[in-house]
Amino acid sequence: MQQIRKRLGLSLRDVESASNAIAERHNNREFAMNLSRLSDIEAKGVLPSIYRLHTLAAIYRMPISEVLALYDISPEWLEQDRHGQVFPASHPLSNHLDETVRIPVRLDPGFDPSQTTDIKRIVQMWGAVPVSRLHQFENAQFAYGYVGTEDYTMYPLLMPGTFVQIDTGLTMVAPGPWRSEYERPVYFVETHEAYACCWCELDGKNLVLVPHSLSPVRVRVMPFPQEAEIMGQVVGIAMRLETVRAPAAAKLSPSKERTEVR
Protein backbone atom coordinates (compact mmCIF):
# COMPACT_ATOMS: atom_id res chain seq x y z
CA MET A 1 0.00 0.00 0.00
CA GLN A 2 2.88 2.35 0.78
CA GLN A 3 4.43 1.76 -2.64
CA ILE A 4 1.16 2.67 -4.34
CA ARG A 5 0.87 5.89 -2.35
CA LYS A 6 4.46 6.93 -3.09
CA ARG A 7 4.12 6.08 -6.77
CA LEU A 8 1.23 8.53 -6.92
CA GLY A 9 3.32 11.17 -5.16
CA LEU A 10 1.02 11.35 -2.14
CA SER A 11 2.10 11.95 1.45
CA LEU A 12 0.33 10.47 4.47
CA ARG A 13 -1.17 13.88 5.14
CA ASP A 14 -2.48 14.05 1.56
CA VAL A 15 -4.30 10.74 2.06
CA GLU A 16 -5.59 11.84 5.46
CA SER A 17 -6.95 15.05 3.99
CA ALA A 18 -8.60 13.25 1.06
CA SER A 19 -10.16 10.68 3.41
CA ASN A 20 -11.63 13.47 5.55
CA ALA A 21 -13.24 14.96 2.45
CA ILE A 22 -14.80 11.57 1.61
CA ALA A 23 -16.05 11.19 5.18
CA GLU A 24 -17.65 14.65 5.03
CA ARG A 25 -19.24 13.90 1.69
CA HIS A 26 -20.93 10.79 3.09
CA ASN A 27 -21.45 12.26 6.56
CA ASN A 28 -19.72 9.22 8.07
CA ARG A 29 -16.41 9.38 9.96
CA GLU A 30 -15.84 5.67 9.33
CA PHE A 31 -14.45 6.65 5.91
CA ALA A 32 -11.78 8.88 7.47
CA MET A 33 -8.22 7.77 8.29
CA ASN A 34 -5.85 9.64 10.57
CA LEU A 35 -2.07 9.50 10.27
CA SER A 36 -1.61 6.78 12.87
CA ARG A 37 -4.21 4.52 11.21
CA LEU A 38 -2.61 5.00 7.81
CA SER A 39 0.79 4.21 9.26
CA ASP A 40 -0.54 1.03 10.89
CA ILE A 41 -2.11 -0.10 7.60
CA GLU A 42 1.13 0.46 5.68
CA ALA A 43 3.76 -0.63 8.20
CA LYS A 44 2.01 -3.15 10.45
CA GLY A 45 -0.38 -4.77 8.02
CA VAL A 46 -3.48 -3.70 9.93
CA LEU A 47 -6.59 -4.53 7.92
CA PRO A 48 -8.72 -1.55 6.92
CA SER A 49 -12.46 -1.62 7.60
CA ILE A 50 -14.86 -1.91 4.68
CA TYR A 51 -15.37 1.88 4.77
CA ARG A 52 -11.63 2.60 4.70
CA LEU A 53 -11.18 0.00 1.97
CA HIS A 54 -13.53 2.13 -0.13
CA THR A 55 -11.58 5.25 0.80
CA LEU A 56 -8.25 3.75 -0.24
CA ALA A 57 -9.70 2.53 -3.55
CA ALA A 58 -11.13 5.98 -4.25
CA ILE A 59 -7.98 7.92 -3.36
CA TYR A 60 -5.60 5.56 -5.16
CA ARG A 61 -7.90 5.30 -8.23
CA MET A 62 -8.07 1.51 -7.94
CA PRO A 63 -10.96 -0.93 -8.42
CA ILE A 64 -12.05 -2.55 -5.16
CA SER A 65 -10.99 -5.91 -6.61
CA GLU A 66 -7.38 -4.68 -6.94
CA VAL A 67 -7.34 -3.44 -3.35
CA LEU A 68 -8.65 -6.82 -2.20
CA ALA A 69 -5.89 -8.50 -4.21
CA LEU A 70 -3.35 -6.65 -2.04
CA TYR A 71 -4.69 -8.72 0.84
CA ASP A 72 -4.48 -11.99 -1.12
CA ILE A 73 -8.16 -12.08 -2.06
CA SER A 74 -8.31 -12.95 -5.75
CA PRO A 75 -11.05 -11.27 -7.84
CA GLU A 76 -11.71 -14.62 -9.54
CA TRP A 77 -12.70 -16.21 -6.23
CA LEU A 78 -16.07 -14.44 -6.23
CA GLU A 79 -17.28 -16.27 -9.34
CA GLN A 80 -15.70 -19.54 -8.24
CA ASP A 81 -17.29 -19.40 -4.79
CA ARG A 82 -20.71 -18.70 -6.31
CA HIS A 83 -20.69 -22.05 -8.10
CA GLY A 84 -22.60 -24.80 -6.38
CA GLN A 85 -24.97 -22.42 -4.61
CA VAL A 86 -28.54 -23.64 -5.10
CA PHE A 87 -31.54 -21.41 -4.43
CA PRO A 88 -35.15 -22.66 -4.58
CA ALA A 89 -36.56 -19.42 -6.01
CA SER A 90 -35.89 -17.83 -9.40
CA HIS A 91 -33.60 -14.84 -9.19
CA PRO A 92 -31.70 -12.47 -11.49
CA LEU A 93 -27.98 -12.74 -12.13
CA SER A 94 -26.28 -9.59 -10.94
CA ASN A 95 -23.85 -7.65 -13.09
CA HIS A 96 -20.70 -7.00 -11.06
CA LEU A 97 -19.41 -3.86 -12.69
CA ASP A 98 -16.40 -3.57 -10.42
CA GLU A 99 -14.90 -6.89 -11.56
CA THR A 100 -12.16 -6.49 -14.13
CA VAL A 101 -12.50 -9.09 -16.86
CA ARG A 102 -11.09 -9.52 -20.35
CA ILE A 103 -13.19 -9.19 -23.49
CA PRO A 104 -12.52 -8.32 -27.14
CA VAL A 105 -11.98 -4.55 -27.42
CA ARG A 106 -10.78 -4.36 -31.02
CA LEU A 107 -12.12 -6.36 -33.94
CA ASP A 108 -10.73 -6.85 -37.41
CA PRO A 109 -12.02 -3.88 -39.45
CA GLY A 110 -12.57 -6.31 -42.30
CA PHE A 111 -15.09 -8.32 -40.26
CA ASP A 112 -18.17 -9.04 -42.38
CA PRO A 113 -21.22 -9.58 -40.13
CA SER A 114 -23.02 -11.40 -42.94
CA GLN A 115 -20.53 -14.30 -42.84
CA THR A 116 -20.30 -17.10 -40.27
CA THR A 117 -16.91 -16.99 -38.57
CA ASP A 118 -14.72 -18.00 -35.65
CA ILE A 119 -14.76 -15.13 -33.12
CA LYS A 120 -11.09 -15.73 -32.26
CA ARG A 121 -10.07 -14.94 -35.83
CA ILE A 122 -11.63 -11.48 -35.82
CA VAL A 123 -10.43 -10.32 -32.38
CA GLN A 124 -7.35 -8.13 -32.77
CA MET A 125 -6.94 -7.22 -29.11
CA TRP A 126 -8.25 -8.33 -25.73
CA GLY A 127 -8.67 -5.72 -23.01
CA ALA A 128 -9.58 -5.52 -19.33
CA VAL A 129 -12.96 -3.90 -18.76
CA PRO A 130 -15.39 -4.05 -15.81
CA VAL A 131 -17.99 -6.38 -17.31
CA SER A 132 -18.88 -9.55 -15.45
CA ARG A 133 -18.35 -13.09 -16.72
CA LEU A 134 -17.18 -12.26 -20.25
CA HIS A 135 -13.71 -13.42 -19.26
CA GLN A 136 -14.98 -16.88 -20.23
CA PHE A 137 -14.24 -15.94 -23.85
CA GLU A 138 -10.59 -16.73 -23.05
CA ASN A 139 -11.32 -20.13 -21.50
CA ALA A 140 -9.11 -22.54 -23.42
CA GLN A 141 -11.80 -25.24 -23.36
CA PHE A 142 -14.17 -23.14 -25.41
CA ALA A 143 -14.13 -21.29 -28.70
CA TYR A 144 -16.78 -18.82 -29.82
CA GLY A 145 -18.43 -18.42 -33.18
CA TYR A 146 -20.79 -16.07 -34.91
CA VAL A 147 -23.53 -17.14 -37.31
CA GLY A 148 -23.55 -14.62 -40.15
CA THR A 149 -26.58 -12.47 -40.85
CA GLU A 150 -26.82 -14.12 -44.26
CA ASP A 151 -26.35 -17.67 -42.96
CA TYR A 152 -29.66 -19.51 -42.74
CA THR A 153 -28.15 -23.00 -42.46
CA MET A 154 -29.83 -23.81 -39.13
CA TYR A 155 -32.80 -21.45 -39.55
CA PRO A 156 -35.15 -21.33 -37.70
CA LEU A 157 -33.43 -23.33 -34.92
CA LEU A 158 -30.51 -20.87 -34.89
CA MET A 159 -31.29 -17.41 -36.20
CA PRO A 160 -28.76 -15.49 -38.31
CA GLY A 161 -26.68 -13.27 -36.04
CA THR A 162 -26.46 -15.87 -33.24
CA PHE A 163 -23.32 -16.14 -31.09
CA VAL A 164 -22.38 -19.72 -30.21
CA GLN A 165 -20.13 -21.27 -27.58
CA ILE A 166 -18.14 -24.23 -28.89
CA ASP A 167 -16.71 -27.03 -26.78
CA THR A 168 -13.49 -27.82 -28.65
CA GLY A 169 -13.19 -31.14 -26.82
CA LEU A 170 -16.28 -32.52 -28.59
CA THR A 171 -15.17 -33.13 -32.18
CA MET A 172 -16.58 -36.62 -32.78
CA VAL A 173 -19.83 -36.83 -34.75
CA ALA A 174 -22.47 -38.45 -32.57
CA PRO A 175 -24.42 -41.13 -34.51
CA GLY A 176 -27.84 -40.68 -32.87
CA PRO A 177 -30.72 -41.44 -32.90
CA TRP A 178 -32.28 -38.40 -31.23
CA ARG A 179 -35.79 -37.93 -29.90
CA SER A 180 -36.01 -34.40 -31.31
CA GLU A 181 -34.01 -31.84 -33.28
CA TYR A 182 -33.20 -30.08 -30.01
CA GLU A 183 -31.19 -33.10 -28.83
CA ARG A 184 -29.25 -33.48 -32.06
CA PRO A 185 -25.74 -31.99 -31.67
CA VAL A 186 -24.90 -28.91 -33.71
CA TYR A 187 -21.26 -28.56 -34.79
CA PHE A 188 -19.09 -25.65 -35.86
CA VAL A 189 -17.12 -26.66 -38.94
CA GLU A 190 -14.17 -24.95 -40.60
CA THR A 191 -13.67 -25.47 -44.32
CA HIS A 192 -10.95 -24.06 -46.57
CA GLU A 193 -13.12 -21.12 -47.60
CA ALA A 194 -15.74 -20.60 -44.88
CA TYR A 195 -17.26 -21.74 -41.62
CA ALA A 196 -20.47 -23.66 -41.12
CA CYS A 197 -22.71 -24.14 -38.11
CA CYS A 198 -24.83 -27.21 -38.78
CA TRP A 199 -25.69 -30.81 -38.03
CA CYS A 200 -23.12 -33.33 -39.22
CA GLU A 201 -23.06 -36.92 -40.44
CA LEU A 202 -20.19 -39.18 -41.47
CA ASP A 203 -20.51 -40.96 -44.82
CA GLY A 204 -17.41 -43.05 -45.33
CA LYS A 205 -14.54 -40.61 -45.78
CA ASN A 206 -16.86 -37.65 -46.22
CA LEU A 207 -18.41 -35.24 -43.77
CA VAL A 208 -22.01 -34.38 -44.55
CA LEU A 209 -23.02 -30.84 -43.52
CA VAL A 210 -26.73 -31.07 -42.84
CA PRO A 211 -28.87 -27.91 -42.66
CA HIS A 212 -32.18 -27.62 -40.84
CA SER A 213 -35.07 -29.15 -42.78
CA LEU A 214 -36.73 -25.72 -43.11
CA SER A 215 -33.57 -24.02 -44.33
CA PRO A 216 -33.06 -23.10 -48.01
CA VAL A 217 -29.39 -24.10 -47.73
CA ARG A 218 -28.43 -27.35 -49.43
CA VAL A 219 -26.75 -30.39 -47.94
CA ARG A 220 -22.99 -30.37 -48.55
CA VAL A 221 -20.65 -33.35 -48.71
CA MET A 222 -16.94 -32.68 -48.20
CA PRO A 223 -13.84 -34.87 -47.85
CA PHE A 224 -13.06 -35.31 -44.16
CA PRO A 225 -10.82 -34.09 -42.66
CA GLN A 226 -8.99 -32.81 -45.76
CA GLU A 227 -11.52 -30.09 -46.63
CA ALA A 228 -13.67 -29.86 -43.51
CA GLU A 229 -12.60 -29.86 -39.87
CA ILE A 230 -14.96 -29.98 -36.88
CA MET A 231 -13.92 -27.26 -34.44
CA GLY A 232 -16.28 -28.59 -31.80
CA GLN A 233 -19.86 -28.96 -30.67
CA VAL A 234 -22.10 -25.98 -29.97
CA VAL A 235 -22.95 -26.07 -26.26
CA GLY A 236 -24.35 -22.59 -25.74
CA ILE A 237 -25.99 -19.82 -27.72
CA ALA A 238 -26.82 -16.13 -27.42
CA MET A 239 -29.64 -15.41 -29.84
CA ARG A 240 -31.83 -12.35 -30.36
CA LEU A 241 -35.54 -13.15 -30.44
CA GLU A 242 -36.74 -10.81 -33.13
CA THR A 243 -38.25 -10.95 -36.57
CA VAL A 244 -35.74 -12.14 -39.18
CA ARG A 245 -36.40 -11.36 -42.82
CA ALA A 246 -37.33 -14.29 -45.01
CA PRO A 247 -34.25 -15.99 -46.51
CA ALA A 248 -33.57 -15.60 -50.21
CA ALA A 249 -32.98 -19.13 -51.49
CA ALA A 250 -30.96 -17.98 -54.47
CA LYS A 251 -28.41 -16.21 -52.29
CA LEU A 252 -28.14 -18.88 -49.64
CA SER A 253 -27.55 -22.09 -51.56
CA PRO A 254 -23.75 -22.63 -51.57
CA SER A 255 -22.21 -23.38 -54.95
CA LYS A 256 -18.52 -24.17 -54.40
CA GLU A 257 -16.67 -26.33 -56.92
CA ARG A 258 -15.71 -28.96 -54.38
CA THR A 259 -19.15 -29.09 -52.80
CA GLU A 260 -21.38 -32.01 -53.72
CA VAL A 261 -25.14 -32.06 -53.34
CA ARG A 262 -26.71 -35.14 -51.83
CATH of residue 206's domain is: 2.10.109.10
Q: Please indicate, yes or no, whether residues 155 and 214 belong to a single structural domain of this protein.
A: yes
How close are the terminal C-alpha atoms of the chain, in Å?
Answer: 68
Q: Please indicate, yes or no, whether residues 144 and 215 belong to a single structural domain of this protein.
A: yes
Q: Please indicate, yes or no, whether residues 232 and 161 belong to a single structural domain of this protein.
A: yes
Q: How many domains does the chain have?
A: 2
The answer to whether residue 209 is domain-embedded is yes
The answer to whether residue 258 is domain-embedded is no
Q: Please indicate, yes or no, whether residues 114 and 39 belong to a single structural domain of this protein.
A: no
Written as tens digits, the pLDDT of the chain (262 aa) is 888 888 888 899 999 999 999 999 999 999 999 999 899 998 888 899 999 999 999 998 888 888 888 888 887 777 677 665 665 654 555 544 445 555 555 667 777 778 888 777 666 555 554 444 455 555 567 888 899 888 999 999 999 989 999 999 999 999 888 999 999 999 999 998 889 999 999 999 999 999 999 999 999 999 999 999 999 999 999 887 766 666 765 444 443 334 443 3
pLDDT score, position 181: 93
Q: Please indicate, yes or no, whether residues 149 and 33 belong to a single structural domain of this protein.
A: no
The answer to whether residue 186 is domain-embedded is yes
Q: Please indicate, yes or no, whether residues 17 and 114 belong to a single structural domain of this protein.
A: no
Measure the CA–CA gap between 229 and 208, rounded to whole angstroms.
11
The answer to whether residue 205 is domain-embedded is yes
Measure the CA–CA gap between 66 and 111, rounded to whole angstroms.
34
Q: pTM of the entire structure?
A: 0.51
- The count of residues in the chain is 262
Q: Please indicate, yes or no, whether residues 51 and 116 belong to a single structural domain of this protein.
A: no
Q: Please indicate, yes or no, whether residues 57 and 141 belong to a single structural domain of this protein.
A: no
Residues ≥6 apart with Cβ < 8 Å to 11? none
What is the pairing mode between strands 123-129 and 206-210? unpaired
Q: Please indicate, yes or no, whether residues 63 and 151 belong to a single structural domain of this protein.
A: no
Containing domain of residue 154, as a range?
109-122+134-252
Q: Please indicate, yes or no, whether residues 44 and 117 belong to a single structural domain of this protein.
A: no
The answer to whether residue 201 is domain-embedded is yes
Q: Please indicate, yes or no, whether residues 239 and 181 belong to a single structural domain of this protein.
A: yes
The answer to whether residue 190 is domain-embedded is yes
3-state secondary structure of 167: strand
pLDDT score, position 95: 47
- Structure confidence by residue, pLDDT tens digits, 68-103: 888 888 877 776 776 656 656 545 555 444 455 555
Measure the CA–CA gap between 240 and 163, rounded to whole angstroms.
9
Give yes or no for a contact between 51 and 30, defined as CB atoms under 8 angstroms apart: yes
CATH of residue 44's domain is: 1.10.260.40
The answer to whether residue 238 is domain-embedded is yes
